[in-house]
Structure 1
Amino acid sequence: MPGFYPENKSVIEFDKLPEGITIDGDWEFQGDAVVRIETSYKENIAIVKNRRSLLEAEKKIAPLQDAVSLEIAIDEEIMAYDNWRKFRFF
């Protein structure tokens, strides 16, 4: 099933993106207009760190999820699977 990126953002259809707007989710609607979201350097670093952490969690979760689904996971793997899944939300 296809998904949308970035997650939890608006979906719009344009023939051409407005000047300075990218597909990376660095925009928002303000009234009828699409405007760029201005972020500070610190905010950008935090966003990058969060994305990296989530990607790392996904890499850890995938094989554990397979083991759990196939009912071949040992107790430590089940605990790790549950902890990594919780990590994504906290």
Structure 2
Amino acid sequence: MANTPQSKKRARQNERRNDINKARRSRIRTFIRKVEEAIASGNAENAVAALRAAQPEMARGVTKGVLHKNTVARKISRLAARVKAIAA
């Protein structure tokens, strides 16, 4: 347990950040899920639209420090490849 005033404050801040990061991660996963559902349905237009909506949200996760840059780049690349395969 935190003893010093500084460590108590840190613990409070970490708790707040954790809630914010959890919500942001959940939001990103929802966007990714929508893309995957559109891909599964085979609807190319919906898949493209869902991917366009998901990309900035995923990039925002990188800038906020929730996800690693390369992880997001890999996920976007793989999703884009799957969407492109459906469109063709």
Q: What TM bracket, shorter-length normalisation?
A: 0.3 to 0.5
Structure showing the higher helix proportion among its residues: 2
**Greater strand proportion:** 1
Higher relative contact order (CA 8 A, sep 6+): 2
Between Structure 1 and Structure 2, whose CA radius of gyration is higher?
1
Q: TM-score, normalized by length of structure 1? A: 0.45
